[in-house]
Copies of this chain bind each other. A is one copy, B any other.
Amino acid sequence: MTGRDGGAPLEPLGNTPVVILVRPQMAENIGTTARAMANGGLFHLRLVSPRDGWPQDRAWRTASGADRILEAATVHESVDDAIADLHHVYATCPRPRHIVKTVMTARGGAAELRAATERGLKVGLMFGPERAGLDNEDMARADALIRYPLNPTFMSLNLAQAVMIMAYEWWMAADATPPRTLMTNETHVATKGELENFVSHLVRELDGCGFLRNEQKRPGMVRNLRHFFTRGEVTEQELRTLHGVVRELAHPRRAED
């Protein structure tokens, strides 16, 4: 699961949301936050009153190479200062109570963040301190709260996991990877002609060995084989292997030797 893929340097990818950690306690969590951000293509990190000051070596040790995010991070005395130049700010919040506020899912929030950045607006994602979370004054400065729909009987995300889910949804909001594809590498998905060529070969050999000797059942048996071989995509290379399997089963080399 781990490992740098490709050699391109980590750098800001266009206008991306700023991640604002409000009063973070553990420097390790600032490092794992940077790592999570990098996975989702986020780069800009702002720290509001980090408990142990900044910079901290421990952050670099847990960032898994997302050093440039930490190097570019800025420190702010207040939330107001950290968000002054932003147009929209969303705040993650596990259990908002007794307030009137827009609440979004991570996916819905990510879609709106994408739409806002495409309009040229600067946006931010605010995360609270590890234990207490954002306070009421922090939340009153956000345009909307983001609450992850997760198992209500066990909702326990650490800071980096919370950042990871938002970074993942941010990336997915612009991702066009097909949900299902056949990776064929050096070969290609077989054409119907290539498939039919194999099925004909198979049927010919099954006729030869007597497997299809019952003339009444023969059409149905052949159809069933066709149903099986059309259930999923098959590649040209796999058909060549299957041709070989049929050929060798029907005419064993050992017997011919």
Interface residue ranges, A against B (CB under 8 Å): 1-6, 8-11, 13, 35-36, 38-41, 64-66, 92, 94-105, 107-109, 111-112, 127-128, 130-131, 133, 144-145, 148-162, 164-165, 168, 171-172, 175, 177-187, 232-233, 235, 237-238
Chain B residues closer than 8 Å to A94, beta-carbon distance: 1, 3, 5
> A181–B235 contact, CB under 8 A?
no
Q: How far is the CA of A155 from the CA of B72 in the complex (A)?
A: 20
Sample of 26 A–B contacts (CB below 8 Å): A1-B128, A1-B162, A2-B130, A2-B157, A4-B154, A10-B153, A35-B156, A39-B156, A39-B157, A40-B151, A41-B151, A66-B154, A98-B186, A99-B183, A100-B183, A100-B185, A102-B181, A102-B182, A103-B180, A104-B180, A105-B179, A107-B172, A107-B179, A108-B179, A151-B171, A165-B165
CB distance from A148 to the nearest CB of B (A): 7
> A5–B153 contact, CB under 8 A?
yes
> A130–B1 contact, CB under 8 A?
yes
Residue of B nearest to A39 (CB): B150
Q: How far is the CA of A184 from the CA of B184 in the complex (A)?
A: 52
Instruction: Name the contact of A144 in the complex, choosing from B103, B111, B180 (C-beta under 8 A).
Output: B180
Chain B residues closer than 8 Å to A155, beta-carbon distance: 3-5, 39
Instruction: Name the contact of A179 in the complex, choosing from B111, B152, B164, B183 (C-beta under 8 A).
Output: B111
> A3–B100 contact, CB under 8 A?
no
Instruction: Name the contact of A156 in the complex, choosing from B9, B38, B41 (C-beta under 8 A).
Output: B38
> A100–B184 contact, CB under 8 A?
yes
> B162–A165 contact, CB under 8 A?
no
Residue of B nearest to A165 (CB): B168
> B151–A38 contact, CB under 8 A?
yes
> A36–B161 contact, CB under 8 A?
yes
**Given known contacts A2-B130, A11-B153, A164-B164, what 7 new A-B pairs fall within 8 Å (CB)?**
A2-B131, A3-B155, A8-B153, A39-B156, A104-B181, A149-B171, A149-B172
CB distance from A24 to the nearest CB of B (A): 11
